[in-house]
Amino acid sequence: MARIGIIVVIGAIIISMAVAMYMYTQYQTNFIIVKAGESVIVGPVEYTITFDGTHKGNEKTIPVDTFVKIRIGAKNITDEKTRISRSQFYLIDEKQQKYQPVYGKFSTEDLSDVWLEPNKPTTLTTQFDIPYDEQKQYKVIIRPSKQQSSVDVALICITKC
């Protein structure tokens, strides 16, 4: 009788380990690494990110350092509307320092919160206030929104790739 109990316990442990490994592999982050100008799909959106230069802001929004501007091409590849926002984008430098976008209404294309219609591409821009150095490498991270429920994260090299 004790042998059967031990076998049942060992079987339960093995089954729980198998279920845990399956769940771990299903929800582990999938990093997609590309260079600027290449398309990448994160959740239901196909993105194309390019470096759009630097600037010193406008009369209302002045950076502490320098604004690094990126151009975002986005296309919803599903049949339902989806939202993208600036909180999905980060810029990281060579030291892995993370910077969030700055909203300042610099143009009509400036990203805040946008609903993307199915199969309708749009072009947006956003900027990051960073201590910019032309000799360093910078990357943009795109994370899916909670609504998009994806494990994909894009890492896009925008300078010195």
Q: Is residue 15 one of the residues assigned to a domain?
A: no
Is-contact 133 88, C-beta < 8 A?
A: no
pLDDT score, position 61: 86
The string of pLDDT tens digits covering residues 83-120 is: 999 899 999 999 999 999 988 778 888 888 899 999 99
In terms of DSSP bridges, do strands 122-130 and 45-55 run parallel, antiparallel, or are they unpaired?
Answer: unpaired
Summary mean pLDDT of the chain = 91
Domain that holds residue 132: 32-159
The reported pLDDT for the residue numbered 13 is 94
Say how many domains are in the chain: 1
Domain containing residue 113: CATH number: 2.60.40.1240
For residues 91 and 87, what is the distance between their CA atoms, to the nearest angstrom? 11
Q: What percent of the chain has pLDDT over 90?
A: 69
Distance, CA of 154 to CA of 143 (rounded, Å): 7
On whether residue 10 sits in a domain, the answer given is no
Give a yes or no: residue 57 inside a domain: yes
Mean local confidence (pLDDT), 19-38: 90
Does 26 map to a domain?
A: no
Please give the model's pTM, rounded to 2 decimal places. Answer: 0.81
d(CA 52, CA 16): 50
